[in-house]
Amino acid sequence: MKPKFFAVPYVGWLAFFVVAPFVIVVIYAFSTSDGTPTLANFSTMGNFISVFIRSFRLAIIATIICIVVGYPVAYLLSRESLRVQRILIMLIMLPMWMSFLLRTYAWMSILENTGLLNRLLTFVGLPTVSVINTQTAIVIGMVYNFLPFMILPIYSVIVKIDQSLYEAAQDLGANTVAVFRRLIFPLSLPGVLSGITMVFVPAVSTFVISQLLGGGMHMMLGDLVEMQFLGTAYNPHLGSAIALAMMVIVIVFMYIMNRFGEGEKVSVKL
């Protein structure tokens, strides 16, 4: 039996659940309800330019916050003993074992006007804040749900850096700051770029977070696409055009990230 035979189930699965839906989306995007070829679906997207801008703006903000928070966590995690690393990784992964929807509902109970956050502020004598149903709440939900996707790629790259490189840099007179700036950070860039992709892509297309934490008041691309397929504004052809345009933008973004990540070279200059 040829080894290629074992790939048949995978190819069949890929063709049925990935290729075929993509072809259907393309056909719907370039046609009308009666099957006539058209580009009108794409021109209609101009009416939703604010949704595109809002989605990408919030996704970029959430991605930046994940980098700022996730990189130090990943770096400090890599400097711990192997036993501590395993425990901390388990704690980071633990929330992901629960339902995404359940975690988002939990943040609703924390951020609502009578929720845990405002109760805590009242208890310590501080004024309450109104966070729920705002774009800030959406960003908080994105950061919480997608932060592990930033930490783990960066950690996996840093932890594999050869210890002898640290020793060589220190022997050449580099202090801790110089070692990080000229050695660790450049070598960890592939992990950073991978984390950016893994956070930005789901963040820009999310719809559950914006509906629950944003109260449906701040429509994003995921909400817009869902509305065209399942909502009152049923128009699968427009929804397919929006989904296809978003897919192209994301692919271009991933291509740029991969181009930046290619051929990274590090030289320690003291």
pLDDT at res. 2: 65
Sketch the domain layout of the chain as residue ranges: 48-261
What pLDDT tens digit does each residue of the chain (270 aa) get?
567 777 788 888 888 888 888 899 999 999 998 889 999 999 988 899 999 999 999 999 999 999 999 999 999 999 899 999 999 999 999 888 888 889 999 999 999 988 899 999 999 998 999 999 999 999 999 999 999 999 999 999 999 988 888 778 877 777 888 888 888 898 999 899 999 989 998 999 888 899 999 988 889 999 999 889 887 778 999 999 999 998 898 888 888 877 766 555 444 454
CATH, range 48-261: 1.10.3720.10
- What per-residue string of b and e applies to 235-255 under the rule 16 or more CB within 10 Å gives b? bbbbbbbbbbbbeeeeeebee
Q: Is the pTM of this model over 0.85?
A: yes
What tokens appear for 14 in the block? 């890929």
What tokens appear for 81 in the block? 């003993």
